[in-house]
A and B are shown apart, each in its own frame.
Chain A
Amino acid sequence: MTIAIDPIITILPPLAVIPFIVFFGERRKNLREASIIIAACILFAVNFSLYQQFLDGALLQSQKFTFFNGLTLFLKGEPIGIIFGLLASFLWIVTTVYSIGYMRGHNEAHQTRFYICFAIAIACVMAAAYSGNLLTLFVAYEAITLSTYPLVTHSGNAKAKRAGRIYIGVLMGGSIFLLMPAIIVTWWLTGTTDFIAGGVFNSISISPLLVTLLLCLMVFGTGKAALMPFHSWLPNAMVAPTPVSALLHAVAVVKTGVFLIIKIVVYIFGFDLIAQTNAAEILLYFAAGTILLSSFIALKKDNLKARLAYSTIGQLAYIVLAALIANVRAIEGAALHIVSHAFGKITLFFCAGAIMVASHKTLVSELAGLGRKMPYTFTAFLIAAISIIGLPPLIGVLSKFVIIEGIIDSQYDWLIIVLILSSLLNIAYLLPIPFMAFFKEPQSIEAADSTSQSVIEEAPTACLIAICITTAGCLILFFQIEPIVHLLSLIETTSTTGVGG
């Protein structure tokens, strides 16, 4: 007999910590942040035990909650979700450590509100990771948008408010205008929104045009996946504090978007349907275009965080592309890339934030010579950049490799060229940053302004610890990728009975 575990326990720790945050408030900062770290550790432990139970064959499913008219909300664990849950909860610990250093170093206001919204967002991400049907995922998706909105507008100035407007407008507008009707149509056609291995459209005949339309609605409606032309919110959202950009806009939020796309490809449409109807082809062009275009734009961006944001858009498009190729190998690649990009990009953002805290510099062109003052930060930056580019011995290479394998299995061989080209572009926009910091002399004017230069020191310790952890993650996962690959092999892609394990 299999053991049944309710994945709702993953939502509880982040929510449970909120009263503590409110209680401790601004007065007892240390206790407040300690409670968050404890909650984050508990959350990771819970996720990890769920993972082990899943391997042992337990059924991770919650009670079905009837919403209305037969629509249900429930949670159910499956391999991609578990990986996503593990990843987000682990990085929450690290980010919390980092944000202690960052928020204090920056003297940000409203820190309590910041931590509360952060915790709510994490709870929603957990709900998304373990969502059992499309409706649950949609609800969680909307909740993430709403709970991260105050984080984007955190500073409260005109720029932040404008960014907030774009953020809500694109994400919520897209999801209500495109995603929701697609879900309603799916439900109307099939009477279910459940994630079923092999897709839900098997039982009915459906025209290829409608499949293409639905897929487009869903993929574009998932604004969080930042597929062009629905990407503009992401660079704008960079006005948020760096921990937010790091965890939410490089990992949790955007990954929820691509996670949703992977889920619908695998469990709503199914590989067969997409292959038969060729529904994804037009979207592949969009994804490929996004990869290249965003890299070109990133080259042009002088603001460090903006450059990283465009890089994120490109990397997300990799995942979308891999998901839309819709074969087993590519999906594995997509899931792996979620992990590898998460570690790489969060490190880069951490470094960007550390540079901001230590030197108050936000432009790439200002970084010349900073490498000697902040050696750890820039070393980490270099390593993470190499991982993103996809060179061994870092995790980035694995995911790109698997995606390419997936492409070879498919009929879209030309995509390989896109990937290679994009890797070159990655080199072009990422590597100059650490090189400049290390090898280029500071410009003469700034050198004369020695007072500001001399003050610059290495980033706060808390920030450095976080950076080291994620950098180490990039390295270690390259050698320890086996558990993830094993878990991914458990994804059910054809309609068979039973649960994983």
Chain B
Amino acid sequence: MLFNNHFSVLLIVLPLMAAPICVILRNPKASWLVALISNLIIVLLSLSLLSHVLNGNVVRYELGGWAAPTGIEYYIDGINAVLISIVSIISLVTLIYSKQSIRKEIATPRHYLFYAGWLLCLTGLLGILITGDAFNVFVFLEISSLSMYMLIALGSERRQALVASFRYLILGSIGASFILLGIGFLYAATGTLNMSDIAERLPLVNNSRTVIVGFSFITIGLFIKTAMFPVFSWLPNAYQFAPSAVSAFLAGTATKVSLYIFLRFFYHIFGTDYSFGNLLLGDVLLPLAVIGFFVMSVVAIFQTDIRRVLAYSSIAQIGYIFAAISMATEQGLTAGIIHIINHAFIKTALFISVGCILYRYGTANINQLNGIIKTMPWTCAAFIVAGFSLIGVPLTAGFVSKWYLVSAAIDSGWWLIAVMILTSSLMAIIYIGRIVEVFCFKTGDATNSLKVKEAPFSMLLPLWFLIIVSVYTGINGDVVVDMAKFSATQLLDSLPSLSNSIGNPL
């Protein structure tokens, strides 16, 4: 596929430029089109980047032609190339979906702001993924977070959305500040901000307290950002009250990108041996992860709003991923990355289908959606398939994830963890089964249901695209597994030093 080193910077410049254009245009349709076209180009660029990286190349781009430790470097290997593609694809898909869905949720004069915010958010997320500079990570993290707060505040249930957004703002800022502080400590210890450079110099100062303090601050900051078990409280409200397109986008990308930062810092910069061997990160991570997915699955069972069920399930899935990551083995890391990829598609699909229901019925309360499969068969079918995937039924993407998670746990000798993962899957049967039962087998309010039609085609199209992707990756699991394995081996190797930098693009 056509590839040029400049593609990496275009990924960020494009949405960053497109956002003000949206604001200038002020027209809902035009700004949607701008967002869509720029996003489409980003998808193509990211796919070309992905195929380039999967061939074994590592992209190192010197921003503005300034050589690395001084200038900012963009560093792309397996894991971020994969995630860049996923983020851009999910953004594109949800953007297509958003056109219809925000009509009922956001006042038309604000639509252009929505798209501008969306593009900025995309910029931030892609920036986090692409950059090889630790401080840059913080900057992009804040760009994405700030636009995310704004997008959430646009939510349909305006009042609660505002409060949800505010709470997220407070917690998110604390998290980001912790990360900033941690990066500052790293800088104090090593005198550099370039990731490869830090990785190279850290072993010399490994035992200093500065590094350990920096390590802890980054860990806690990332816990908040990824909605790890004890510090997840921002997530359910944010997902429930945000506009449905935003929750779909967020669920697929936001926490995944924070997970990427986690992987990059603790596997690459600090090094696996240091993080998990010396500082026993695994010992902290594992119990929290296990309690997380277990408790959150239980909590999900007792929610009445479907979006909340999905939100708690998301936190549980983060727990799975952290459990897998904390094994610090190639198997475990592979399992974690597979689940990051698969869950991104599944959860987005689920949120979109709930969004479709919300669009037609104006509620996602489980008690008011009896028998809607009769009126919205395609939406419900998509929800059911994605739900199966969440449970881990064979021939869906979730099965591949579960298989890998369990076999990685067994491989590490963690039999109990394997049992816990499976128990938690049983709970997924309950909370998904409960919703499916309401959809299919409860007799609906006849007068209500006759008026309602199936969701518009432009909403079903993205939904079914995601479903097909997740079923395809379930049947032909090797696609995802190979990418994940590739990324995992790269993550477990130490970061290549700057001197190996591949040519100057200019």
Contacts and interface: CB of A to CB of B under 8 A. Distances in A.
Interface string B476-494: 1110110000000000000
Interface residues of A, number: 29
Contacts of B477: 67-69, 71
15 contacts: A66-B476, A67-B478, A68-B478, A138-B394, A143-B394, A153-B440, A156-B443, A164-B437, A169-B433, A172-B393, A172-B429, A176-B429, A180-B403, A181-B406, A181-B422
A487 B250 CA distance: 58
A181 B394 contact: no
B425 A177 contact: yes
A366 interface: no
Given A176-B422, A181-B422, A139 B394 contact: yes
B391 to A, nearest CB: 8
A25 to B, nearest CB: 15
A180 B400 CA distance: 12
A165 B437 contact: yes
Contact of B429 (A69, A139, A169): A169
Contact of A188 (B393, B395, B407, B437): B407
A164 B441 contact: yes
Interface of A: 66-69, 71, 138-139, 142-143, 146, 150, 153, 156, 160-161, 164-165, 168-169, 172-173, 176-177, 180-181, 184-185, 187-188
Contacts of A177: 422-423, 425-426
B403 A156 contact: no
**9 residue pairs, one from A and one from B, having the closest CB atoms:** A68-B477, A139-B394, A68-B481, A68-B478, A177-B422, A184-B407, A142-B394, A173-B426, A184-B406
A142 B441 contact: no
Given A146-B388, A156-B443, A161-B441, A173 B429 contact: yes
B366 interface: no
Contacts of A164: 437, 441
B462 interface: no
A180 B422 contact: yes
B411 interface: yes
| Interface-central residue, A139, A173, A176, by most chain B CB under 10 Å | A176
Contacts of B422: 176-177, 180-181
B392 interface: yes
B298 to A, nearest CB: 15
A180 B391 CA distance: 13
B481 A69 contact: yes
Nearest to B394: A139
Nearest to B410: A188
Given A68-B478, A184-B406, A188-B411, A153 B441 contact: yes
Interface of B: 388, 391-395, 400, 402-404, 406-407, 410-411, 418-419, 422-423, 425-426, 429-430, 433, 437, 440-441, 443, 475-478, 480-481
A480 to B, nearest CB: 38
B418 A181 contact: yes
Contacts of B410: 181, 184-185, 188
A156 B440 CA distance: 9
| Interface-central residue, B394, B404, B406, by most chain A CB under 10 Å | B394
A181 B404 CA distance: 11
Contacts of B481: 68-69
B239 to A, nearest CB: 26
Given A142-B393, A164-B437, 7 more contacts: A69-B481, A146-B393, A168-B433, A172-B393, A177-B426, A180-B422, A181-B418
Nearest to B430: A169
Contacts of A161: 437, 441
B393 A168 contact: no
Contacts of B480: 68
A401 to B, nearest CB: 38
A176 B395 contact: no
Nearest to A173: B426
A165 B477 CA distance: 30
A188 B388 CA distance: 25
Contacts of A184: 403, 406-407, 410
A185 B413 CA distance: 11
Contacts of B430: 169
A108 B205 CA distance: 77
A173 B441 CA distance: 21
Nearest to B426: A173
A412 to B, nearest CB: 31
Given A168-B429, A181-B422, A66 B478 contact: yes
Contacts of B478: 66-69
A176 B441 contact: no
A181 B410 CA distance: 9
Contacts of B425: 176-177
B392 A176 contact: yes
B297 to A, nearest CB: 13
A188 B403 CA distance: 11
Nearest to B371: A156
Contacts of A67: 475-478
A168 B441 CA distance: 14
B441 A156 contact: yes
Given A176-B422, A184-B406, A139 B395 contact: yes
A66 B426 CA distance: 27
Contacts of A188: 407, 410-411
Contacts of A160: 441
A271 B490 CA distance: 45
Contacts of A139: 394-395
Nearest to A177: B422
A114 to B, nearest CB: 14
Contacts of B475: 67
B392 to A, nearest CB: 7
| Interface-central residue, A153, A169, A172, by most chain B CB under 10 Å | A172
Contacts of A146: 388, 393
Given A66-B478, A180-B406, A165 B433 contact: yes
A67 B473 CA distance: 9
Nearest to A155: B441
Nearest to A153: B441
Nearest to A161: B441
A160 B400 CA distance: 32
Contacts of A180: 402-403, 406, 422
A177 B478 CA distance: 24
A187 B403 CA distance: 11
Contacts of B394: 138-139, 142-143
A177 B426 CA distance: 7
A76 B392 CA distance: 25
A21 B114 CA distance: 46
A138 B437 CA distance: 24
A66 B477 CA distance: 8
Nearest to B438: A161
A113 B430 CA distance: 24
A168 B404 CA distance: 24
Nearest to B407: A184
Contacts of B403: 68, 71, 180, 184
A110 to B, nearest CB: 11
